[in-house]
Amino acid sequence: MIISPPWLCLRFWPGVTTGVNHTTLPEFLLLGFSDLKALQGPLFWVVLLVYLVTLLSNSLIILLTQVSPALHSPMYFFLRQLSVVELFYTTNIVPRTLANLASPHPQTISFQGCAAQMYIFIVLGISECCLLMAMAYDRYAAICQPLHYSTLLSPQACMTMVGTSWLIGIITATTHASLIFSLPFPSHPIIPHFLCDILPVLRLASAGKHRSEISVMTATVVFIMVPFSLIVTSYIRILGAILAMASTQSRRKVFSTCSSHLLVVCLFFGTASITYIRPQAGSSVTTDRILSLFYTVITPMLNPIIYTLRNKDVTRALQHLMKRQSPSP
């Protein structure tokens, strides 16, 4: 469960100063894709279709890993948690994006609504980073420490890793959002984006912008690069263990157990790095929106498809479930 911080419920917050000695909260205008009128209709149907596939495929992963005894291992426990994160992640963003695409005019979002969307967005994004790191550790333990696997990845250890992932996400989101939304904003802030992402909102602040942007982006880079570095370290160890195997068939078989996770890691951290770590001087609003659309809408759909198509255990569990549900002749 995502815990909303107390400051989301505050009535007043540093925003727009009025003549009666108190501060009122501004409404943000989300431009979305309103400048691309010809693409709004087709984009609406594409995003809707992708969202429905995302809901179906991630729900299917959750169901399969819950009911199939063959998928009751730590790896699939983490995969189920990842699918839960993906469901919340897309549902936090896509419905409002669809409403924006369906409207001929840009839509507004309240101050509290923008803060809540960013808060949930950061919680889930950081939690996914940590879950992918936990999944890499699972592969490392299975391949490099097979005799200690049941101890290293005990049910209690797995629950601790998942709980820690959510806790790190909540702490990071509370810190980031508190810092960003404590800054004063103009009376009619316009976000040239389809969601309340960190950088577009931070750039609207009228005071303390430079220092806050450096602080927030430094923390963001750290929370992207630290999990990624640990994942890379795990796979360096795994690669060493695979190369030490005498049989080519054994190498191929062991590597196949990592390929799905490795592909998902490349998708997630690749798009996150391009979005948040690349130089902002040469970036454009259109490029930012396309990249954000990819990692907020497309990637959550691809992850369960990758695990389903490239994983024989999941494929067999799906076939077994379909046979059980089909009527006998």
Q: What is the arithmetic mean of pLDDT over 106-125?
A: 92
Q: What Cα–Cα distance (Å) separates residue 8 from each residue in 5, 78, 120, 197?
A: 6, 30, 11, 16
pLDDT of residue 106: 85
**Encoded tokens for 288:** 């930012």
pLDDT digits (tens, 9 = 90+) for 43-100: 999 999 999 999 999 999 999 899 888 888 999 999 999 999 999 999 999 999 999 8
Amino acid at 303: N
* Cβ burial, residue 145 (10 Å; 0-12/13-18/19+): middle
pLDDT digits (tens, 9 = 90+) for 11-25: 334 444 434 444 567
Partners of 17 in beta bridges:
23
pLDDT of residue 202: 82
pLDDT exceeds 80 at position 242:
yes
Please compute, for residue 150, the number of CA atoms within 13 A of its CA located in the half-sphere on the CB side. Answer: 1
Q: What is the arithmetic mean of pLDDT over 197-219?
A: 71
29-312 CATH:
1.20.1070.10
Q: Which residue has the tokens 């592909």?
A: 263
Residue ranges of domains in the chain: 29-312
